[in-house]
């Protein structure tokens, strides 16, 4: 493990070669674009699910009336099951130091990164200081909610050419959805993105996401998934231009929705915590 003096020296060398971070306002502009992009996708999903619910609601209510004598018991069992779900344990991730390696120019950036932000959910945090992204959303009864969290690092290439953006996300997660005659849906992802800024104009050039779960329930059923100690590795090339700045972002998001009506309801919950121990840039 490098000393604090060695780490600070490496950071100064990296900044001298690859340039300083842009302002928080400029960082916020690119992360706001990604949040708006995610919000539009969630809105499209919700619109489709609303149309589906309008079609299936008469059948859901008819089933609830048919099995009215069981409704109270099933409702109590469903509500009791919520308290039995264990909380998510954050992943154990080793720490790294920023460094500049010889040969092909390989810059290793470790936390603190340049910027972090979060939007929505009951809980969401983009912790640039420790390199962590976290979201949690839950809906019981009629409603929908989503959240995303982002962190990132600015990079200035020293020449034109292909650059590789490499990172790993160590993560833990937990999700569930349960239905008593009415539907619920649950989605979660982790991904990376790259923005190019040239002459104060931002352009999204890469958006790569991994769908971690995508589930739904109806009638009388429940689904769930959880785990810790997982790793998602990203290694993506893009063309970089000297004189432009590039925001290398890592983010996660989740969205849930549920419904309720005569004799029943549904519920959904999602939680994700990811650690990003390093962001690596290799100039080929």
Whole-number pLDDT of residue 177: 95
Q: What is the mean pLDDT of residues 133-143?
A: 93
Q: Which of 196, 126, 128 is nearest to 157 (CA)?
A: 196
CA angle 92, 216, 220 (to 5 degrees): 115
Provide the mean pLDDT of the chain: 84
Query: Does position 99 have pLDDT exceeding 60, yes or no?
Result: no
Q: What is the mean pLDDT of residues 169-198?
A: 95
- Where exactly are the structural domains of the chain? 4-283
- End-to-end Cα distance, the chain: 27
Q: How confident is the model at residue 77 (pLDDT cuts 50, 70, 90)?
A: low
Q: Provide the β-strand partners of residue 33.
A: none
Q: What is the mean pLDDT of residues 146-171?
A: 92
CA distance 55 to 64: 16
- Give the model confidence (pLDDT) of 188-242 as tens digits: 999 999 999 999 899 999 999 999 999 999 888 899 999 888 899 999 999 999 9
Q: Which of 157, 139, 155 is nearest to 147 (CA)?
A: 139
The tokens describing 98, both together, are 């920023």
Question: Do the beta carbons of residue 36 and residue 193 sit within 8 Å?
Answer: no
Query: Does position 7 have pLDDT exceeding 60, yes or no?
Result: no
Whole-number pLDDT of residue 188: 97
Query: Does position 43 have pLDDT exceeding 60, yes or no?
Result: yes
Whole-number pLDDT of residue 70: 61
Q: How confident is the model at residue 120 (pLDDT cuts 50, 70, 90)?
A: confident
CA distance 191 to 277: 15
DSSP 8-state class, residue 181: S
Weakest-pLDDT range from 20-34, 133-147, 180-194:
20-34
Whole-number pLDDT of residue 69: 62
Query: Does position 151 have pLDDT exceeding 80, yes or no?
Result: yes
- Give the model confidence (pLDDT) of 230-267 as tens digits: 899 999 999 999 999 999 999 999 999 999 888 888 99
pTM to 2 decimals? 0.82
Q: How confident is the model at residue 131 (pLDDT cuts 50, 70, 90)?
A: very high
Query: Does position 81 have pLDDT exceeding 70, yes or no?
Result: no
Q: What percent of the chain has pLDDT above 90?
A: 50
Query: Does position 140 have pLDDT exceeding 70, yes or no?
Result: yes
Q: Residues near 115 by Cβ (< 8 Å), separated by ≥ 6?
A: 21, 24, 27, 28, 31, 126, 128, 150, 151, 152, 247
């Amino acid at each position: 493990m490098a000393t604090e003096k060695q780490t600070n020296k490496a950071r100064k060398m990296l900044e001298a070669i690859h340039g300083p971070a842009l302002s928080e306002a400029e960082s916020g502009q690119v992360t706001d674009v990604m949040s708006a992009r995610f919000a539009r996708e969630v809105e499209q999903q919700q619109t489709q699910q609303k149309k589906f619910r309008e079609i299936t609601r008469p059948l859901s209510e008819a089933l609830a009336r048919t099995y009215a004598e069981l409704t109270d018991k099933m409702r109590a069992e469903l509500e009791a099951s919520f308290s039995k779900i264990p909380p998510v344990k954050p992943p154990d991730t080793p720490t790294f130091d920023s460094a500049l390696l010889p040969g092909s120019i390989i810059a290793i950036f470790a936390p603190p990164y340049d910027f972090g932000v979060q939007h929505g959910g009951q809980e969401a945090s983009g912790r640039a200081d420790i390199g962590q992204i976290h979201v949690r959303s839950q809906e019981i009864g009629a409603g929908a909610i989503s959240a995303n969290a982002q962190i990132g690092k600015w990079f200035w290439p020293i020449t034109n050419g292909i650059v590789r953006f490499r990172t790993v996300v160590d993560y833990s997660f937990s999700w569930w959805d349960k239905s008593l005659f009415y539907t619920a849906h649950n989605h979660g992802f982790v991904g990376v993105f790259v923005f190019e800024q040239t002459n104060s104009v931002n352009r999204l050039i890469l958006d790569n996401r991994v769908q971690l779960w995508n589930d739904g329930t109806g009638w009388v059923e429940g689904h769930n998934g959880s785990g810790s100690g997982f790793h998602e590795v990203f290694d993506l090339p893009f063309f970089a231009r000297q004189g432009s700045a590039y925001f290398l972002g890592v983010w996660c998001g989740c969205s849930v929705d549920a419904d309720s009506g005569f004799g029943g309801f549904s519920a959904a919950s999602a939680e994700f915590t990811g650690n990003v121990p390093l962001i690596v840039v290799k100039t080929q």
